[in-house]
């Protein structure tokens, strides 16, 4: 049996490793004056554009489990997280830096797989890799991605602009990524002591893709721009619908009513939730990592929003004194709760 090639990182040295991992990347954006290969990247944004910057860190054993997370998918997902933050500000991403903390258990080939996923995401999203850092880690793999994006200053959207009677809109469906994670964790537990494990994923491939390889909603930001729709507030759905809606309400000093029957949930999400005796609505409200967009628009734009065909209107903004509630089909109001917010 052929053994998979294993090259120790020490055999290349830090600079040899950096050269190997970044040799396939080339700058595409006019704003990238200098990328990888100097003490710092040089970025020159166009006149009148705001520069947006966000950083995400991912820790092995906390944010991902290499038992079931392919490194190529992991590389792609770490880029998606930062891109999604930039999109949530109504801007487009342009550059990233990637810094790694690498444990000795990982060979060079593993890092090449990781960077293959990063390269695929960069090509797909038209992003330049312009720098980073690589260091030894005593606690497993650590990945930190900083993402830069640009937008005209007057086009940038914040969490703080929602107004009373605005429509609450979301893209895609919710809870699928969380249920994908639950499926992976279940199979890991069941097959822990099996010599030749064969995980049972048939029928739930969509859930796995939503968790392992979520796609950022660049198409939505472009579609909104084409329709000349500027949301009053926006956030990406990385912490669950309840938490992210409450973030908007907190920043905008408002309340909200969302309707249970309007929350889009995929059939596979509902099917797996039933199989695992859990509630798909809980997955949608509190699961997170969907990387969809949650935003508000004035009521007067309802027709324009519905024409897009990519968005669901799930509720509306109310005065701050009314709080944030989920309304059931029988008219019952359930107060939204989320981690990180104090109990009232």
Structurally, the chain folds into a number of domains equal to 2
| Angstrom distance (rounded) from CA 63 to CA 141 | 10
| Shared-domain flag, residues 140 and 249 | no
Strands in 70-165 per DSSP E: 92-102, 128-136, 142-152
SS3 235: strand
| Shared-domain flag, residues 52 and 122 | yes
Please report, rounded to a whole number, the percentage of residues in the chain having pLDDT higher than 70: 97
Cα→Cα distances 76→81, 118, 120, 287, 299, Å: 9, 5, 7, 20, 36
Q: How confident is the model at residue 1 (pLDDT cuts 50, 70, 90)?
A: very low
Strands in the chain per DSSP E: 32-34, 42-43, 49-59, 92-102, 128-136, 142-152, 167-171, 233-237, 254-259, 292-297, 311-319, 324-327, 333-335
| Shared-domain flag, residues 149 and 171 | no
| Shared-domain flag, residues 167 and 263 | yes
Structural domain that includes position 184:
159-193+201-335
| Shared-domain flag, residues 40 and 70 | yes
| Angstrom distance (rounded) from CA 16 to CA 24 | 14
| Shared-domain flag, residues 246 and 323 | yes
| Shared-domain flag, residues 126 and 174 | no
CATH number for position 324:
3.90.650.10
| Shared-domain flag, residues 257 and 329 | yes
| Angstrom distance (rounded) from CA 254 to CA 102 | 44
Q: How confident is the model at residue 198 (pLDDT cuts 50, 70, 90)?
A: confident
Q: How confident is the model at residue 4 (pLDDT cuts 50, 70, 90)?
A: low
The reply to whether 29 falls in a domain is yes
CATH number for position 94:
3.30.1330.10
pLDDT in tens, 227-262: 999 999 999 999 999 999 999 999 999 999 999 999
Q: How confident is the model at residue 166 (pLDDT cuts 50, 70, 90)?
A: very high
Which one is predicted more confidently, 95 or 342?
95
Which one is predicted more confidently, 135 or 180?
180
pTM value is 0.93
| Across 109-132, average pLDDT | 95
| Shared-domain flag, residues 236 and 144 | no
Which one is predicted more confidently, 36 or 216?
216
pLDDT in tens, 95-116: 999 999 998 889 999 999 999 9
The reply to whether 122 falls in a domain is yes
| Shared-domain flag, residues 122 and 88 | yes
| Shared-domain flag, residues 163 and 149 | no
What is the predicted pLDDT for the residue at 343? Answer: 67
Element (H, E) at 247: helix 241-252
């Amino acid at each position: 049996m052929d053994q998979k090639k294993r090259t120790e990182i020490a055999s290349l040295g830090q600079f040899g490793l950096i050269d190997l991992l970044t040799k396939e990347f080339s700058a595409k954006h006019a704003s990238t004056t200098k990328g990888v290969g100097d003490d710092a990247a040089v970025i020159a944004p166009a006149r009148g554009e705001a520069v947006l910057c966000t950083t995400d860190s991912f820790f092995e054993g906390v944010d991902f489990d290499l038992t079931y997370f392919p490194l190529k998918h992991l590389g792609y997902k770490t880029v998606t997280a930062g891109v999604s933050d930039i999109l949530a500000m109504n801007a487009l991403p342009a550059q990233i830096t990637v810094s790694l903390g690498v444990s000795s258990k990982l060979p060079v080939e593993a890092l090449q797989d990781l960077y293959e996923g990063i390269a695929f995401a960069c090509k797909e999203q038209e992003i330049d890799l312009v720098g980073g850092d690589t260091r030894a880690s005593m606690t497993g793999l650590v990945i930190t991605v900083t993402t830069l994006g640009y937008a005209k200053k007057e086009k940038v959207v914040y969490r703080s602009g929602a107004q009373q009677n605005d429509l609450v809109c979301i893209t895609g469906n919710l809870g699928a990524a969380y249920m994908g994670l639950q499926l992976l964790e279940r199979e890991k537990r069941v097959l822990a002591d099996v010599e030749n494990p064969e995980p049972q994923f048939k029928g739930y491939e969509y859930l796995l893709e939503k968790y392992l390889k979520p796609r950022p909603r660049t198409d939505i930001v472009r579609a909104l721009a084409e329709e000349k729709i500027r949301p009053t507030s926006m956030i990406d759905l990385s912490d669950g619908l309840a938490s992210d809606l409450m973030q908007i309400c907190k920043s905008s000093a408002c309340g909200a009513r969302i309707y249970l029957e309007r929350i889009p949930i995929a059939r596979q999400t509902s099917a797996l939730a039933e199989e695992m005796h859990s509630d798909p609505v809980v997955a949608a409200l509190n699961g997170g990592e969907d990387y969809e967009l949650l935003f508000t628009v004035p009521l007067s734009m309802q027709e324009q929003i519905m024409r897009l065909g990519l968005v669901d209107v799930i509720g509306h903004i109310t005065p701050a004194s009314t709080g944030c509630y989920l309304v059931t089909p029988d008219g019952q109001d359930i107060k939204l709760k989320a981690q990180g917010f104090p109990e009232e």
